[in-house]
Amino acid sequence: MSTATARLEPAHAHVAASGPSTSAILRALMRQRLRRDRWQLLIWLLSIAALAAFSAASVQQTYASAVGRDQVIRLAIADPTILVLRGLPQGSTLPALIFFEIFTFLALLAGLMNTFLAVRHSRAEEDSGRAELIVSTPAGRLLPTAATVIYAVAVDVVLAIVTALGFLSTGLPVAGSFVAGAAVGGAGLAFFGVGLLLAQVMSTSRGANGYASAVVLAAYLLRGIGDAMGTPFGDGTHLRAAWPSWLSPIGWGEQTAAYTADSWWPILLQVALAAVLVVGVFALQAARDSGAGLVPERAGRATASRSLSGTFGLAWRLQRPVVIGWTVGGALGGLLAGALGSAINSQLASDPNLAGIREAMRRIGAGGSGPLTELFISAILSILGVLAAACAVQSVIRLRQEEQSGTAEVLLATPVSRIQWLFSYVGVGIVAVLAVLLAAAITAGLSAVAAGEDTSMIGHAFAAASAQAPVALVYLGVLTLLFVLLPSWTVAVGWAVLGLGAFVGIFGGLIQLPDWIRHLSPFADAPVVVGDVDWTGGYWMLGITIAALAAAAALIRRRDFAIG
Amino acid sequence: MIPLMDAVIDVSGLEKRFGRVRALDGLDLSVTQGTVHGFLGPNGAGKSTTIRVLLGLARPDGGRAELFGRDPWKDAVDLHRRIAYVPGDVSLWPNLSGGEAIDLVARLRGGTSDTSAYSARRKRLLDVFQLDPAKKGRAYSKGNRQKVALVAAFATPADLYILDEPTSGLDPLMEAVFDSEIRRVAAEGATVLLSSHILSEVEQLCDRVTIIRSGRTVETGTLDELRHLTRTEVSFRADGVPQDALAQLPSAHDVDVRDGRIRFTADSDALAPVLAELARLDVQGLTVAPPSLEELFLRHYGDDLTQAAPEPEEARR
């Protein structure tokens, strides 16, 4: 066989002999990936490990007594909000409580880290045309994908280890810490498969990232619903998840019951899903052209529709998919709030832990008094306020992207004033905020009424949603001003301030952050619409928004427009 | 209103700094109404920065810039009603089709008020530039993105066309289409500022030329005027010409005898006495090559190369 080849292709044999081996190519590709990601990856890994360590330490400090832990677990089982945001209670031991408190959030972060990683090294490379450079070398079309898979496995193994070390650093048991770490890494790997598959299917990295993030959030939400619908067993401090949790790789991770049962089999499930997805990826990639998507690029319109006639029409056209996506998210969240809120009211009216539940609600930022269903709806809507703020942040980020790509220059060379251009995107941001909150309010109100609540609940849902509007608008206004003053900071500061603000403002109370840190976040100062109604924070935020937008309007005339 | 020979673009002593880099360092540019004005310079000379100042996208740090007698920074919106612009590096919205982008720009420029006239202009331009308007922005090649910008610019009549290296991605056939469009708008009385480093294009299209280097104007004038600054190459058959006769030729430079021919260069404005002397010698196979802009350009490029070292010091002052 080898002699025949040698005789037929002596010249090629010479080339092949001097070319790099497959393993050498893989090593080079993996080095390139690591080199590119090193800082980003370090920040992700350290943040996740630090969050594990910090929350473990915080729980140890707060719930040192067995009685307190027992109380808080029973409270959680009685309160679906806590279950949605936390996880699946597995008894009242200290390590079990820690796993319950933080695991799903760590898995969510691991999922986002992995989907971004998958798309960054696949579709984004094809988008930019850099992939062609690699495909034209002996690496070919499939080896870069293989390198990305091996690289992701390595990254997730490291993620599992550093997460385990984070837990271990607070003195938790070794076996359980590694099970917990592996469940985080396993969830990450499963979502890596999701990201890589969507990178095959979608024809743009923006689309792949969007859908992959949506899948991660949906997986988080699915297990939230499954946990909230779970049935208690044993001594009443354990919960068996309902079926929706079983649709989610994060839900599988919870089934490890780290520190109590320490099961490894759910991690096999996560890895198996990743393997199946990766096999699918290779099958798809072998069949398609480099650079092409599975969903074919549709031809556009030959002429512009009537609506695309000005800067607002353009801004709306560019942001429309984002606004629709977040609005659907808001509507689903509202549905959850209304339906569950009504359910807990009947369950909890006679619960001995009522005071404790109210306290938990207060910490999420819903006010401390008033009817339970209303409190619950307010609590969920304050989380949906983050979606509205994210939508506002994205409108401002679009301004920056338009300036950076040079498309803004085309518009500003026509008789369009800068203020008109700027405020088109601000206007779309306002529309987006209102759309998300309105969708959440409508579905929350209607689903509560459908579940048997009084029709006044519709009015309350609108009040709770409108309380979130000033928070989202203050993000819109202040970030717009930042875009005018320091354009190159817009994207990084926008997301960082939103993420920190949401975490500190909404979850800060649950992890006992000092009040002065919490109140740095606009989310902590959202108006209270249940019980002791207080709109002070809202008026302040509206005032800040208007001042920031006025300053932005005055200053946009004064700066240069630059590319890059 | 504006007299016929008035300057549409009037720039003097223009300065623009980006941090420590002086992008423009006392640039002068004057473009008369109804002319096609070539704006030449190597990459990084400041062509695009000048254009950004003229469009009111960048504010000058010093000097004066006027468009139609007004300040491009303050009166940007009003001035843009009279301007069509093609950027040097055309970027389109990835998810908008080329046709949508063309219509959007036309609507913003008020070019669609007469719907049927606009769609006739648009159709003609799409035909001559052979552009498919239904493709999404991200699917176009560099040349086709440029065509989208050109169609958008020409589909709405303007008083002033500012074109930043508009043909750098076009094939030769499309360059010819572009040339005829420039001639068309010029014949209609529009003014054109054409930034380029393609010399043949400028030679074919432009009435006047400004050459800049390192943010400063080095030459400006009509093509004929600039040719006076150059040397003409003269060559003829070497056999039968006495060697000492060459020494007597007035103002012959760089004499070179090769392949049986004698070549030299002479100052373009001192050619007549040289030709008289050559006639007296009765030389055979005489050719006289007119100076090209290429040569003019190379002279300034050449200076760039030799002056590359001291240049930054100059800039720092």
Q: Which of B53, B54, B57, B85 to mutate to test the interface with A (most CBs of A within 10 A)?
A: B57
B96 contact residues in A (CB cutoff 8 A): 300, 308, 317
**Sign (positive/negative) of CA torsion A470, A471, A473, A478?**
positive
- pLDDT value, residue A170: 92
A123 contact residues in B (CB cutoff 8 A): none
- Is the pLDDT reported for residue B245 higher than 90? no
CA of A411: which chain B residue's CA is closest? Answer: B105
Range with top average pLDDT, A287-301, A424-438, A453-467, B283-297: A424-438
Contacts (Cβ under 8 Å, ≥6 apart) of B96: A300, A308, A317, B104, B136, B137
Which residue from B77, B91, B97 is facing A415, i.e. has the nearest CB? B77
Segment A428-433 mean pLDDT: 97
- Is the pLDDT reported for residue B303 higher than 60? no
Segment A76-98 mean pLDDT: 86
Would an 8 Å CB–CB cutoff place A416 in contact with chain B?
Answer: yes
Contacts (Cβ under 8 Å, ≥6 apart) of A280: A197, A200
Distance CA B237, CA B258 (A): 10
- Collect contacts of B235-239 with beta carbons under 8 A, ≥24 apart: B235/B261, B235/B262, B235/B263, B235/B264, B235/B286, B235/B287, B235/B289, B236/B261, B236/B262, B236/B278, B236/B283, B236/B284, B236/B285, B236/B286, B236/B287, B237/B261, B237/B262, B237/B283, B237/B284, B237/B285, B238/B262, B239/B284
- pLDDT value, residue B4: 44
Using a 10 angstrom Cβ sphere, with 0-12 exposed, 13-18 middle and 19 or more buried, the burial of residue B99 is buried
Place of tokens 């590119």: A36
B99/chain A closest Cα distance in angstroms: 5
Mean confidence (pLDDT) of chain A:
86
**Inter-chain residue contact B80 with A411, CB threshold 8 Å:** no
User: What letter would DSSP give residue A296?
Assistant: P
- pLDDT value, residue B131: 96
Contact B195, B39 (CB under 8 A): yes
User: ipTM value of the model?
Assistant: 0.81
Contact B255, B245 (CB under 8 A): no
Q: Place B302 in a pLDDT band, splitting at 50, 70 and 90.
A: low
> Where is average pLDDT lowest: A47-51, A310-314, A501-505?
A501-505
Distance CA A525, CA A538 (A): 7
pTM: 0.78
Calculate what percentage of chain A has a pLDDT beyond 70.
90
Which residue from A298, A407, A563 is facing B93, i.e. has the nearest CB? A407
CA of A297: which chain B residue's CA is closest? Answer: B136
- pLDDT value, residue A1: 40
Would an 8 Å CB–CB cutoff place A555 in contact with chain B?
Answer: no
- pLDDT value, residue B314: 37
Structure-model confidence comparison of residues B316 and B136, the more confident one: B136
Measured in degrees and rounded to the nearest 5, phi and psi for residue A215 equal: -65, -40
The pLDDT tens digits for A2-23 are 444 444 444 444 455 567 888 8
Distance CA A70, CA A356 (A): 13
Closest CA to A179 of A87, A276, A103, A105: A103
- pLDDT value, residue A217: 86
- pLDDT value, residue B277: 83
Would an 8 Å CB–CB cutoff place B92 in contact with chain A?
Answer: yes
- pLDDT value, residue A359: 67
Question: Which of helix, strand or coil describes residue B7?
Answer: strand
Segment A148-161 mean pLDDT: 97
Q: Which domains does chain B have, with CATH numbers?
A: 7-226 (3.40.50.300), 231-290 (3.30.70.260)
Contact A164, A181 (CB under 8 A): yes
